[in-house]
Amino acid sequence: MAQSILGSSPVCKPEFPRSSASTSSVSGSKLNVSDIDRTQLGFLNSSKTNLPLRLKALSEGVGLVQETKETTPKFISKPDDTFSEMRNRFLSFKKHKYLENLECYKELAEAQAPKFLVISCADSRVCPSYILGFQPGEAFIVRNIANFVPPFENGPCETNAALEFSVNDLQVENILVTGHSCCGGIRALMSMDDEEKSSSFIKNWVKVGKAAKSTTKTIASNLTFDQQCKHCEKESINNSLLNLLTYPWIEKRVSKGLLSLHGGYYDFVECTYEKWTLDYQKKSQKQEIGGYAIKNREFWS
């Protein structure tokens, strides 16, 4: 099996049952992540001898057709446990959340007025609503690989379409770009050649973070590759915050104090969360490391 370009694997057991597991180890504060998680698709392969081909081989000559085995999916006869569990969770949600808060959900059916736009990684281990406790109607959430925000000049994409809607129509008051530890997208960015031409969707997407990679290579050149990746995970968040300011409607609302830009970093190995706010300085940004300033930094542990 080819290695995933994202290069990440789970280090904790997911809530849904799985048919295989990967292992990882923690040495001090350094995490060694295995190459790839080999998941299965809900069926088992079994091999059986193909008798007609064997007979054909005997009749046409030794070595012409070797013994051939065909693999046939052996479907599980009992109901899919994954969706049975999902069904139970949905019905539990309906009984204990939806029906007990029916008026709230009726109001949400009419309109939404979230205070937050959250831009998070698509990684299955870092669901922002689960981690930060957002309830329905509180946050408009966009998820993509490595929680990148492309600059305005890159042109239209799903992420900036969501930016336009949430800022101009929903008028959110806060944008939170939240990254995480062991990010496969950042690892892919740090591993690739900057001049590489590729048809890979992933490689072409993570190029959005090239500025963060360049800063990391300059500042953290003496660190190990894993340490550089962790540095870039945080640096790319700030790079995305600066990219947000390239959107005219975002810069306008930030300059008027109607919108605040925040960064967050979730370390799911240690279960800690860092939060900070971009200190906006119109046309003369205060120069700190990387050309930006931050304020209101907090560390939750």
The torsion region of residue 259 among left (phi > 0), alpha (psi -120 to 50) and beta comes to beta
Give bridge partners of residue 300 from the DSSP assignment: 273
Report the candidate in 245, 246, 269 with the shortest Cα–Cα distance to residue 259: 245
Asked if residue 183 belongs to a known ligand binding site, the reply is: yes
State the Cα–Cα distance between residues 129 and 114, nearest whole angstrom: 13
| 177 Cβ contact partners less than 8 Å away, ≥ 6 residues apart | 119, 147, 149, 237, 240, 241, 244, 261, 262, 263, 264
State the Cα–Cα distance between residues 261 and 254, nearest whole angstrom: 8
State the Cα–Cα distance between residues 15 and 130, nearest whole angstrom: 12
Asked if residue 104 belongs to a known ligand binding site, the reply is: no
Asked if residue 180 belongs to a known ligand binding site, the reply is: yes
CB 8 within 8 A of CB 183: yes
Asked if residue 96 belongs to a known ligand binding site, the reply is: no
What is the DSSP track for 230-249? HHHHHHHHHHHHHHHTTSHH
Name the residue with tokens 């969501």. Answer: 162
| 56 Cβ contact partners less than 8 Å away, ≥ 6 residues apart | 65
| Cα three-residue angle 150-154-160, rounded to 5 degrees | 50
State the Cα–Cα distance between residues 196 and 14, nearest whole angstrom: 35
Binding residues for Zn(2+): 121, 123, 180, 183
Binding residues: 121, 123, 180, 183
